[in-house]
């Protein structure tokens, strides 16, 4: 199992020195990857009394591809993981181009997690259709893989047309791994048919429950129907350190490992933490689970 960290998007602040310090500390402590969440627009709640979502216009989010371009230059080994890019609210060819550039600048260290999103406000602001986002996402993944592996692409789909054109440079990884986040049946089917891995719904302080196990079976069933080996599809768990007693950290990691998790990320996020606080949490976890041996 590869153990990484969740970049504390909403807590880290805008100081590039703090961003660099957390990433470099994670790498020095032996973490395998850094996972970052994605939001472009946050909703103002003053005229939205019924809004239900964890992030608003007050939530700070670094733009993921620009962030990864910066981190590619200040780290050497850390895998850069989007968990997840909200793919249907973005232009597909542009995502493919940005991802390829990060992969080139990092020496092949990008893992692209994608999802369909939940915030209709973002889709409206980015002029994309919120209602067909699941169906479009599948065509987007197919098109990105073509753009990453072919010098010239001639693509005609339901929502995309590329007439004999391509991106340059191509990525180091051909194709870049595409992992999918989500927790509804349609997403499990999509992962089984075309995903390289799965980000389950965050469990925070919980061990993997019955739903995760049932979803794994849905993924395996879809994979076998598509002629794929379910064992080749990865899974990345997340645990939130400030909600789990320190003496339970190792046991929780082992529960996810036993279920078949190939990756795990720790969440250090907590209101009021500065970079030093996040690094302290990372160091405590690395010592508690013997991070070198855990890998």
CATH code where residue 91 lies: 3.20.20.30
CA distances for 97 relative to 64, 175, 248, angstroms: 14, 12, 42
pLDDT digits (tens, 9 = 90+) for 6-28: 999 989 999 999 999 999 999 99
How high is the mean pLDDT of the chain?
94
| Bridging pattern class, strands 161-165 and 153-156 | antiparallel
At residue 100, the pLDDT reads: 98
Q: Which domain holds residue 197?
A: 2-294
Q: Across residues 132-136, what is the average pLDDT?
A: 95
Residue 102, pLDDT > 80, answer yes
For the residues of 153-166, what is the DSSP string, one character each?
Answer: EEEE-SS-EEEEE-
At residue 243, the pLDDT reads: 83
Per the structure, the count of domains in the chain is 1
Whether omega before 176 lies within 30 degrees of 0, making that bond cis, reads no
What is the reported pTM?
0.96
Coil, strand, or helix at residue 33?
strand
pLDDT digits (tens, 9 = 90+) for 210-221: 889 999 999 999
Give dist(CA 274, CA 88) in Å, integer: 33
């Amino acid at each position: 199992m590869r153990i990484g960290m969740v970049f504390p998007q909403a807590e880290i602040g805008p100081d590039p020195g703090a961003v660099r310090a957390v990433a470099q500390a994670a790498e020095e402590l032996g973490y395998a990857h850094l996972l970052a969440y994605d939001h472009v627009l946050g909703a103002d709640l003053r005229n939205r009394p019924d809004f239900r979502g964890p992030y608003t216009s007050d939530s700070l989010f670094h733009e993921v591809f620009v962030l990864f371009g910066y981190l590619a230059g200040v780290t050497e080994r850390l895998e850069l993981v989007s968990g997840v890019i909200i793919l249907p609210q973005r232009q597909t060819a542009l995502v493919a181009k940005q991802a390829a550039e990060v992969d080139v600048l990092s020496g092949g260290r990008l893992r692209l997690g994608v999802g369909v999103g939940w915030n209709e406000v973002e889709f409206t602001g980015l002029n994309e259709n919120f209602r067909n986002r699941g169906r479009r996402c599948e065509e987007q993944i197919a098109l990105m893989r073509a753009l990453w592996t072919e010098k010239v692409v001639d693509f005609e789909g339901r929502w995309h047309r590329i007439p004999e054109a391509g991106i340059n440079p191509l990525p180091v990884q051909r194709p870049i791994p595409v992992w999918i986040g989500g927790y509804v049946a349609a997403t499990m089917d999509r992962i089984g048919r075309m995903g390289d891995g799965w980000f389950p719904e965050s469990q925070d302080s919980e061990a993997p429950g019955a739903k995760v196990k049932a979803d794994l079976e849905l993924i395996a069933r879809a994979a076998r129907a598509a002629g794929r080996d379910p064992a080749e599809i990865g899974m990345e768990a997340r645990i939130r350190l400030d909600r789990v007693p320190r003496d339970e950290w190792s046991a929780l990691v082992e529960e996810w490992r036993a279920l078949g998790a190939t990756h795990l990320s720790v969440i250090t996020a907590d209101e009021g933490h500065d970079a030093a606080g996040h690094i302290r949490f990372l160091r405590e976890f690395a010592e508690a689970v013997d991070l070198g041996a855990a890998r």
